């Protein structure tokens, strides 16, 4: 009687377990997957919409000015972003100003998952004026494939539960399955962590290539030379009109004509210098967003390179009381990536201006470059030091993290992260930070010197 009652109770419990595993568990897993999938897809769509709006905002000004060269470059850079397969830009009269159309052939898995090409048309406004529209073509392959793998994990979890219950008849097998389940849970946790790390790297890579956010950081630097060029053109137009009027009336004197020529040369020189400044800013932005722009090696004179960088940053440095001292031998020539060296220096100077010194306080930046011998190899020792306020020890551990900044109003948190990437991934070197509160900060960069023509 006892054994029968025990068997009945055991069978009842087993039936309850089978009911939970075979009926309730699939429903719960399906509901959980549906909630996760809905939330993830919505978040992805919102983030994509924000990104496309940012791209559209960056296109408004060049569309307004009909700057075909900038529009072409922006469409090419935007099309390199994940999901986006085509960009088409039109003015307010529906005339195409620029486009980039990449042929998209879905894989077999994408076809099975129903991946489709979608379009988003955004009207472009500049100074509250409708200037045109931008049409973005994109796919939702990434979230669909991601959710497909998540669904496989959910199915795997259900199968694990099913197999676990099926083997309840044998205690030893049950213990073994429990141990295996624990091991698999650990593996799943590790897999999830690796997936999150990989996803973070992808997000960081996409965000560093997002020109919309980076263009905000240089908007003031572009507006200033643009305003000077516009003012110079206005003055030239006025002078030309005056001279033409006097010439037509035969009232133009030789002295007035000479003065007119001198003024025109001065205005033209001013416009050329500011145009060159805008070109340098655009090229700098392009190097940040497109790492392939700094992948070519060349022999370069480092003293001349540093001088060029300092000259290009002079408009910003002159607004501060910071003195820059460069200690570099005139004949220091190395075979390296000039664009990467220039970008490292520009980001370090920008970081020092924003974070090293209090507002309107005097300070000094020292730049030293020399070759040293390490074993059988030659290295370039690049030292960048300031006598500013220094960095707290806890912050020193995070200064190279993407998007980490102590002053969100003044920077995007990408400067030192880009420096770290250029030093390690592009130039194959190392970077070390040494800082003490109240005594300044020093960055010590060691770069291997290669032989080449």
Question: Average pLDDT, stretch 356-367?
Answer: 85
Q: What backbone phi and psi angles, to 5 degrees, belong to 381?
A: -90, 115
User: Given this chain, do its domains 2-209 and 293-448 carry the same CATH topology?
Assistant: no
> 208-242 pLDDT, tens per residue?
544 444 454 455 567 777 888 888 888 888 888 88
**pLDDT at position 202, please?**
47
* Residue 395: pLDDT band with limits 50, 70, 90: confident
CB 304 within 8 A of CB 337: no
> What is the rounded distance in angstroms from the CA atom of residue 417 to the CA atom of residue 398?
10
Other C-beta atoms closer than 10 Å to the C-beta of 338 total 19
**pLDDT at position 385, please?**
93
Structure tokens given for 394: 């806890």
pTM for this prediction: 0.42
Give Cβ neighbours of residue 63 (< 8 Å, ≥ 6 apart). 71, 89, 91, 97, 124, 126, 131, 132, 134
**Where is pLDDT greater, at 246 or 292?**
246
Average pLDDT score, the chain: 79
**pLDDT at position 432, please?**
92
> 62-89 pLDDT, tens per residue?
889 888 888 888 888 888 877 788 899 9
What's domain 2-209's architecture?
2-Layer Sandwich (3.30)
| Helix 141-166 / helix 25-65 crossing angle, nearest 10 deg | 170
**pLDDT at position 445, please?**
93
**pLDDT at position 382, please?**
93
* Residue 444: pLDDT band with limits 50, 70, 90: very high
Q: Where are the domains of the chain?
A: 2-209, 218-289, 293-448
CATH 3.30.390.50 fits 293-448, yes or no: no
> 267-318 pLDDT, tens per residue?
888 888 888 877 866 665 554 444 444 467 888 889 988 888 887 777 678 7
**Where is pLDDT greater, at 425 or 451?**
425
Closest to 367 in 3D by CA, of 308, 300, 452: 308
Q: Which of 27-41, 92-106, 123-137 has the highest mean pLDDT?
A: 123-137
Characterize 292-322 residue by residue with b for buried, 16 or more Cβ atoms within 10 angstroms of its Cβ, and e for exposed.
Answer: ebbeeeeebbbbebbeebbebbeeebeeeeb
* Residue 16: pLDDT band with limits 50, 70, 90: low
What DSSP element (H or E) covers 286? helix 254-289
């Amino acid at each position: 009687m006892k054994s029968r009652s025990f068997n009945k109770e055991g069978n009842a419990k087993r039936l309850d377990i089978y009911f939970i595993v075979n009926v309730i568990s699939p429903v719960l897993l399906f509901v959980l997957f549906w909630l996760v999938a809905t939330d993830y897809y919505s978040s992805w769509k919102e983030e994509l919409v924000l990104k496309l709006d940012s791209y559209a905002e960056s296109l408004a000004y060049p569309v307004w000015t009909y700057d075909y060269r900038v529009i072409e470059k922006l469409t090419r850079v935007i099309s390199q972003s994940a999901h986006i397969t085509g960009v088409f830009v039109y003015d307010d009269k529906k005339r195409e100003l620029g486009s980039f159309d990449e042929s998209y052939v879905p894989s077999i898995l994408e076809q099975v998952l129903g991946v489709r090409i979608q379009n988003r048309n955004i009207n472009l406004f500049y100074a509250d004026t409708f200037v045109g529209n931008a049409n973005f073509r994109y796919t939702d392959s990434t979230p669909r494939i991601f959710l497909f793998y998540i669904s496989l994990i959910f199915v795997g979890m259900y199968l694990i539960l099913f197999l676990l219950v099926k083997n309840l008849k044998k205690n030893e097998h049950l213990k073994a399955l429990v141990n295996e389940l624990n091991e698999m849970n650990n593996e799943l946790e590790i897999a999830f962590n690796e997936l999150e790390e990989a996803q973070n790297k992808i997000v960081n890579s996409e965000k560093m290539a997002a020109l919309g956010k980076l263009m905000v950081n240089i908007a003031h630097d572009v507006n200033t030379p643009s305003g000077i060029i516009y003012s110079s053109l206005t003055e030239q137009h006025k002078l030309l009109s005056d001279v033409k009027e006097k010439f037509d009336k035969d009232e133009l004197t030789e002295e007035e004509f000479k003065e007119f020529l001198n003024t025109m040369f001065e205005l033209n020189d001013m416009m050329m210098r500011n145009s060159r400044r805008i070109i340098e800013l655009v090229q700098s932005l392009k190097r940040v967003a497109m790492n392939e722009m700094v992948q070519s090696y060349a022999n370069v004179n480092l003293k001349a390179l540093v001088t060029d960088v300092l000259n290009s940053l002079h408009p910003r440095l002159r607004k501060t009381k910071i003195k820059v001292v460069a200690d570099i031998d005139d004949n220091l020539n190395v075979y390296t990536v000039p664009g990467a060296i220039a970008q490292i220096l520009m980001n370090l100077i920008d970081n020092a201006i924003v974070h090293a010194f209090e507002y309107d306080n005097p300070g000094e930046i020292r730049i030293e470059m020399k070759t040293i011998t390490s074993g059988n190899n030659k290295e370039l020792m690049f030292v960048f030091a300031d006598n500013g306020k220094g960095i707290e020890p806890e912050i020193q551990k995070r200064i190279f993290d993407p998007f980490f900044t102590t002053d969100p109003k003044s920077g995007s948190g990408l400067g030192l992260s880009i420096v770290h990437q250029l030093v390690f991934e592009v130039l194959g070197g190392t970077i070390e930070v040494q800082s003490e509160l109240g005594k300044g900060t020093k960055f010590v960069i060691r770069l291997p010197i290669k032989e080449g023509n």
